[in-house]
Amino acid sequence: MTHEVHKVVRESGGRRIIIADSATSVTEANKNDIVVDGSHCGANIASDYILPSGARGMIGNDAGIGLENAGIASLKILEEHGIPAAAVAAMSAEIGVGQSTYSDGVISTVNAVAKKMGVAVGMTTKEAANKMLAGVLKRRG
């Protein structure tokens, strides 16, 4: 667990889009948030940080995807929990830097839940995060 002051980039209907350098800084305080972070999307990010926090969505870095697609393994895990998630291409944004994921990132991979909310490959992170926020707000009804 690391400690960070997260930047809030948007807030609507009690839900937020926040930026973190590391997903390991995400806690229960982020249970209403779409988390945009600089971390890879490996399995541990979903099981150890995003799921326990109760966050509503996640966008991270695909880390070059790598051996056995490990760099995007958390997308599938989150999908099984109904959580929208996507990854940006490692060549589009600086891994480890949440602001770069948000400002420079281009989506390379999307899970089925995010897809249903309109998130698509090739989209900017900003647009993808906005789609997730809208989808999460609609879901709340």
CB of 93 to other proteins, least distance (A): 6
How far, in Å, CA of 96 to CA of 98, rounded? 6
Distance set, CA 38 to CA 14, 25, 58, 101, 102 (Å): 24, 11, 11, 6, 9
CB of 116 to other proteins, least distance (A): 26
Closer residue to other proteins in complex, CB, 125/135: 125
Q: With 0-12 CB in 10 A as exposed, 13-18 as middle and 19+ as buried, what is 56?
A: buried
Closer residue to other proteins in complex, CB, 104/127: 104
Q: 41 with 57: CB under 8 angstroms?
A: no
Instruction: Count interface residues toward other proteins (CB under 8 A).
Output: 37
Q: Contacts with other proteins in 56-115 (CB under 8 A)? A: 61-68, 70-71, 73-74, 90-97, 100, 104
* Residue ranges in contact with other proteins by CB under 8 A: 1-2, 21-22, 24, 38-40, 42-45, 48-49, 52, 61-68, 70-71, 73-74, 90-97, 100, 104
